[in-house]
Homo-oligomer: A and B are copies of this chain.
C-alpha cells in the first residue's frame, strides 16, 4: 500500500516537519501568552503534543527554538530592503522596525532574546551569530548604497547610525514605553542629515 498517510504520522527515519512546526508555534504562542519565564521545554512539549526528547534532539535549548522562529518570522515580516537606496526607503525601514518591535509577536521574541542574552552568554553568542550579525550586515549595506547615491551623509559611522536610530526604539520597547511614529522620523532626521560642520 504505497499511498502514505499525509496526516500526523512519522516518516520513518526522517525528521518530522509537523513536529518541528508544532514546536516552533508552541514556543511562539507560549512566549506571547505567558511570557519567557513560563516558556519551559516541558511546556512547549506539552503544548506541541511532542515528546521532550524530540525537542532536545533538534534544538540544544529553548533559546534556539525561539531563534528559529525569529529568523523565519523576520524574513517574512521585516526583510531589510535589498534594493533600497533613498532616504525615504531608509526611513520606511526603520518605521517598520519600530512597528515590528512594539507590535509584532515576532518582535516580542526578539526582545525576549535580547533580554535572555543579557542573562546567558550562550544566548548572546547565538543571537549575534545567527541574527544580529547577519541583519546588521544587511543594514550596513543598505546605508552604504544610500551614501554612495548621495542620498545621505551621516556624521556617524554606519553601525553608529543604526544604533542611534534602532537603540532608542529598542530601549523604549524594552522599558515598556510606546514608540510614537514621530520619534523614528525625528531620529532619522537628526542622524542622517549632514553634520553642520
Contacts and interface: CB of A to CB of B under 8 A. Distances in A.
A148 interface: no
A127 to B, nearest CB: 8
Interface of A: 35-37, 111-112, 114-121, 124, 127-128, 132, 155-156, 159-160, 163-164, 166-172, 174-177, 183, 186-187, 189-191, 193, 195-196
B174 A117 contact: yes
12 contacts: A36-B119, A37-B120, A115-B117, A116-B119, A124-B175, A124-B176, A156-B190, A160-B186, A164-B190, A168-B171, A171-B171, A190-B190
A183 B115 CA distance: 23
A176 B121 CA distance: 10
Contacts of A115: 114-119
Contact of A172 (B163, B172, B174): B163
A39 to B, nearest CB: 9
A113 to B, nearest CB: 9
A14 to B, nearest CB: 16
Given A168-B164, A190-B190, A118 B112 contact: yes
Contacts of A120: 35-37
Given A120-B37, A155-B186, A128 B175 contact: yes
A114 to B, nearest CB: 6
A38 to B, nearest CB: 9
Given A163-B172, A174-B114, A121 B35 contact: yes
A112 B119 contact: yes
Contacts of A116: 115, 119
Contacts of A36: 118-120
Which 6 pairs of residues, A with B, have the shortest CB-CB distance? A167-B168, A167-B171, A115-B118, A115-B115, A36-B119, A167-B167
